[in-house]
Chains A and B, each alone.
Chain A
Amino acid sequence: MAAAAAAVDREADRLTELDSAIGDADHGANLKRGFAAVTAALEKDPQATPGAVLTAAGRQLISTVGGASGPLYGTLLRRTGKALGDAERVSRAALAEALTAGVAAVAQLGGAQPGDKTMLDALVPAAEGLATSFAAAREAAEAGALGTVPLRARKGRASYLGERSVGHQDPGATSSALLVAALAEVTA
């Protein structure tokens, strides 16, 4: 979580820049606020298991982000955390399975599917890649985020832009790739 918060901090400006092209220019700042709240909550109230950490973090994101990325990332972490249950230690295979459940919950909440130019374009391949390795998850998420450039947005505020959303990398897919990279970094 600390690595995720640090990565969001480091890249907040770039996320906001991407979001100003096709969104409302708040993605970086929103996530920064959310992960700062996550860090503070976990310091104040440490959680014993990986599942509990993710569940608590998800709850904070839903409460504090203020944009659509809050409920979406919050749901991702909460569902992934719930799927991990109260295991003291989590294997990569178990995490891959839990992340798949989390990604499915995000798809259900937002009603999007891969190809709609959303965070799912990074998360779906990441969850698949995680079945192989953390590095494969990171590479798949980064490729997925890059792959959103030629797509036309079909969800969220960017979808109002229609054809004009083509040619821009999706901010949500970019932040998803960033978080998956942070996960790969701390497990390397």
Chain B
Amino acid sequence: MTARVGIVLVSHSAAVATAVAELARGLAGGGDTAPVRAAGGTPDGGLGTSAELIAEAARAVDGGAGVALLVDLGSAVLTVKALLAEGDELPEGARLVDAPFVEGAVAALVTASAGGDLDAVAAAAAEAYAYRKE
């Protein structure tokens, strides 16, 4: 089995990140999905963004095929960008994906589980922006 793209879900809230990971797994058919990890809230369980939790999650899902990071807003966006600029904090091939959080997470995990590469995963997640609801 070749390595698949890993997904990290970064939210200000641990509960949101964990629930969205669960939702994505469920909608991706459960069972044998690509690796996905939640990195939500601060280490003490508060609301916010933790560089430490993000880096840890990224390392955990990194199988060598790249890591797609999806973020909710504000400091989550800025923290991931700052970590990417650091150069050595996140695994090689880590990428911030510009996508809506919930819909993007589902699209990213389905695509990654099907064996899509990082470009395909990022494109599928970003495409969720174009899906109008009315």
- Identify which of A63, A72, A75, A110 gathers the most chain B CB atoms within 10 Å of its CB: A63
Min C-beta distance of A126 to chain B, whole Å: 21
Q: Does A157 contact B (CB under 8 A)?
A: yes
- Total residues of chain A contacting the partner, CB 8 A: 20
Instruction: Please tell me if the beta carbons of A68 and B78 are within 8 angstroms of each other in the complex.
Output: yes
Q: Which residues of B contact A62 (CB under 8 A)?
A: 51, 79, 82-83, 86
Instruction: Find chain A residues with CB under 8 A from B48 CB.
Output: 26, 30, 66-67
How far is A63 from B56 in the complex, measured between Cα atoms in Å? 12
- Report chain A residues within 8 Å CB of B85: 75, 109
Chain B facing A: main interface SS: helix
Chain A residue at minimum C-beta to C-beta distance from B52: A63
- Secondary structure of the A contact surface, majority rule: helix
1/0 contact string of A24-61 vs chain B (CB within 8 Å): 00100010000000000000000000000000000100
B18 interfacial contact with A, CB 8 Å? no
Contacts of A74 in B (CB 8 A): 82
B26 within 8 A of A: no
Kindly identify, within residues 61 to 108 of chain B, every residue whose CB is under 8 Å from any CB belonging to chain A: 74-75, 78-79, 81-83, 85-86
* A162 contacts chain B at the CB level, 8 A cutoff: no
* Contact between chains at B51 and A68 (CB < 8 Å): no
Determine if B49 and A109 form an interchain contact, defined as CB atoms under 8 angstroms apart. no
Report chain A residues within 8 Å CB of B42. Answer: 66
**Interface size grouping (class) on chain B:** 10 to 19
Complex Cα distance, B132 from A61, in Å, reads 39
On whether the beta carbons of A75 and B74 are closer than 8 Å, the reply is: no
Contact (Cβ within 8 A) B86 A59 = yes
B-chain residues with CB within 8 Å of residue A110 when the two chains form the complex: 78
Q: Across the interface, do A109 and B75 meet the contact criterion of CB distance under 8 Å?
A: no
Bound CA–CA A78/B50 (angstroms): 18
Residue ID in chain B nearest A69 by CB atoms: B75
Would you call B30 an interface residue if the criterion is a C-beta within 8 Å of the partner chain's C-beta atoms? no
How far apart are A166's CB and chain B's nearest CB, in angstroms? 21
What are 12 A-B pairs with beta-carbon distances under 8 A? A62-B79, A62-B82, A66-B49, A66-B75, A67-B48, A68-B74, A68-B75, A70-B49, A70-B79, A74-B82, A109-B85, A157-B74
